[in-house]
Amino acid sequence: AQQKITEGYWDLISTSEGYEKIIGKHLYTSQLPYPSIPDLILYARYHGNPENTIGEVWKWFDVPARDYPVWEWLQLQRLTTLQVQTMFRRGLISKTQLQLELARIGWSGTDRDFVEQLGWSVPNAMLLVQAGMFEQKGNDAILADISIADINPKYARQYLDAVLTKPASQDLIAYQLRKDPELSGLAAELRKIGIHPDYAGVYKELAYQIPPIADIITMAVREAFTPAIAERFGQYQDYPPDLEVWAAKKGLSKEWSERYWAAHWSLPSAQQGFEMLHR
């Protein structure tokens, strides 16, 4: 068949083995590749009646009539475990039918209930955490739910810590300012919410506020940026120490709080000054 030898050489070999020429010819033909019974049944479905393939198959192979139903059934598509589970979930078959189909597929009686449960989806761990918090479950119950959702129990605690809501960076800054205007603990708290340590200094710098431009203009007009003049006009008079404390909790330095105080006075206008001079 592969043209490695001539037909005459084949006849010579088969004759030397005791085969007559006609028998040798049939021997040669019998060694050629030929479709298997399953292949022929598949062919018959597309080239004959797919509901009754035996007639087409018999054109090619003499399958015993008694054996044919077995061969034909073996070539039929059968429901998979996943398909049976899906049919059950959608209400297309009953629990009894599910158990029967699982038995046919080959699941043992001790495993069928487990396979039935595996057919259902479990909410993801995030949803289970949210539901557990809403239902006011204890941490142990929530951690158990996380593991049910395919999170390794070894990391369930870390998963819970990761998904729980944390304060925004601005909230942390506001809180730390109230506790310690020096912000000594800010970097550690920012790291807990995922801020890279290299940027802690940026957040700390921005925590200390600069007044809005309108206030800065007012300060400039009222000489708050020239302390000597402001001092001469008594604009720092009665500056309350508590203002420095509470301004620091809002992120304002002592210098800015003094400027605010110096600028809060209403200075007399030129007309008012002229009138006071003449009185």
Instruction: Look at residue 6 in the predicted model and tell me its pLDDT.
Output: 72
- pLDDT above 70 for 9: no
Q: What is the pLDDT of residues 161-183, one digit of tens each?
A: 999 999 999 999 999 999 999 99
Using a pLDDT cut of 90, give the percent of the chain over it.
73
CA dihedral 16, 21, 23, 24 (to 10 degrees): 60
- pLDDT above 60 for 279: no
Q: What is the pLDDT of residues 56-103, one digit of tens each?
A: 999 999 999 999 999 999 999 999 999 999 999 999 999 999 999 999
DSSP string, 238-265: T--HHHHHHHHHTT--HHHHHHHHHHHS
49 three-class SS = strand
Confidence bin at 115 (pLDDT 50/70/90): very high
| Measured distance CA(221)–CA(269) in Å, rounded | 12
- pLDDT above 60 for 1: no
Instruction: Look at residue 2 in the predicted model and tell me its pLDDT.
Output: 61
Structure token pair of residue 157? 């605690």
- pLDDT above 90 for 278: no
| Measured distance CA(58)–CA(88) in Å, rounded | 39
Using a pLDDT cut of 70, give the percent of the chain over it.
89
Mean residue pLDDT across the chain? 90
Confidence bin at 266 (pLDDT 50/70/90): confident
Confidence bin at 267 (pLDDT 50/70/90): low
Instruction: Look at residue 4 in the predicted model and tell me its pLDDT.
Output: 66
- Mean pLDDT over 257-269 rounds to 82
Instruction: Look at residue 151 in the predicted model and tell me its pLDDT.
Output: 95
Residue entry with tokens 């590749």: 33
Q: What is the pLDDT of residues 223-238, one digit of tens each?
A: 889 989 888 888 888 8
| Measured distance CA(89)–CA(115) in Å, rounded | 13
